[in-house]
Amino acid sequence: MGNAESSLRSLKIEKASIFDMNTIVKMASVCHREDPIFRRMLSNPAKISLYRIFGPFYIRLKFESFKAVVSSKIVGYMLLKHQVHGRFSTTIWDVAVDPDFRGKGIGTSLMKTAEKNVEKRYQYITLAVMEDNTTALKLYQKLGYTNLSETCFAITKIPPKVKVENTVELEPISGKEALSCRSKHSLAVVEALSGSYGREIYQSVYLSNRLERGIDRFRIVTSGKEIGYVSLKLKKGLASVFFILHPDFWHTNSEVEVIETIMGHVAKKRKDRTELCVMQGYERSLESTLTEMGYMSERIIGRIGLVKKLGT
């Protein structure tokens, strides 16, 4: 390790060439072997062989690549995937550092070089990381990345339903009405948690003007007032719910009524499992309320999305 430390004085961050692609593919196999998504992708020998043969060509065609070089050796890399249409954001698709050279600022150097390279072309840069990768998360947060993603809970036990007065209703909506409802309440949540800066980023990067097909959508209404948004996607054996509750109604009786109403609606679908997803930051209130209501839930560890405004 002493040689590695002394040789870091020669660190260079450069654009990767076609001759570097094989090295990057091999390094990815080593650095990401514990990543569950990478393991699923290369779940059998045939897929591994295809990855090794065609991976270099795919990376060359699909990504803008950077390499970290120490004493003529590639010790890290970064892949950027640019939007085909639009100029708002680009994505850090992958970044990795040789295990023997970690903790020495190489990842930071790769990130900063890539950001500087694209800041005149894009307003924002995004990335995804496993939620339990605490080392990477600390680095990204230190570099100014903001977490505006979703959190999901697997509902493992549903308490017996108690008859109480409930004023909450789910009114079906679609099209522009659904887009407007989703946007209004998601922006209210982001602004409550991250201020106008978070609202600006979320509105520019994450709010799509398209709706995925095959999903039921509802506005949450109580006493004639719209207080949130719900979408329901049914998969084999699974009911996947995403809901947004306006911050004014967190930690209130209405929050309990909303959850009861949503879960009552889901129960009619007769699925084996229920997954409840909410915007990052609201999960603490949700988890506390679920516990108080007698639900048992397990937070699902998954990838979270981070974003940074460039040129700031």
- pLDDT for residue 171: 97
Provide the token pair at 67. Answer: 């390499």
Strand 273-279: give its sheet, edge to edge: 168-173, 216-222, 225-235, 238-245, 273-279, 150-157, 296-299
Q: What percent of the chain has pLDDT over 90?
A: 40
Phi, psi of 225 (to 5 degrees): -115, 130
- Residue identified by tokens 């949540």 is 189
- pLDDT for residue 185: 95
> pLDDT tens-digit profile of 159-187?
876 656 778 999 999 999 999 999 999 99
Q: What does the mean pLDDT of the chain come to? A: 86
Higher per-residue confidence, 35 vs 75: 75
> pLDDT tens-digit profile of 295-304?
888 888 788 8
- Mean pLDDT over 154-160 rounds to 83
> pLDDT tens-digit profile of 179-218?
999 999 999 999 998 888 888 888 888 888 888 888 999 9
- pLDDT for residue 312: 63
Lowest mean pLDDT among 47-51, 145-149, 290-294: 47-51
Domain positions in the chain are: 2-122, 151-309
Q: What percent of the chain has pLDDT over 70?
A: 92
Phi, psi of 2 (to 5 degrees): -65, -40
**Is the model's pLDDT at 66 over the cut of 80?**
yes
- The CATH number of the structural domain formed by 2-122 is 3.40.630.30
**Is the model's pLDDT at 276 over the cut of 90?**
yes
Its pTM stands at 0.79
Distance between CA atoms of residues 142 and 136, nearest Å: 10
**Is the model's pLDDT at 62 over the cut of 60?**
yes
**What is the CATH superfamily name and number for domain 151-309?**
Gcn5-related N-acetyltransferase (GNAT) (3.40.630.30)
Q: Do domains 2-122 and 151-309 have the same CATH topology?
A: yes
Radius of gyration of the chain (CA): 23
Distance between CA atoms of residues 21 and 55, nearest Å: 8
221-to-36, 38, 88, 169, 228 alpha-carbon distances in Å? 39, 42, 34, 5, 7
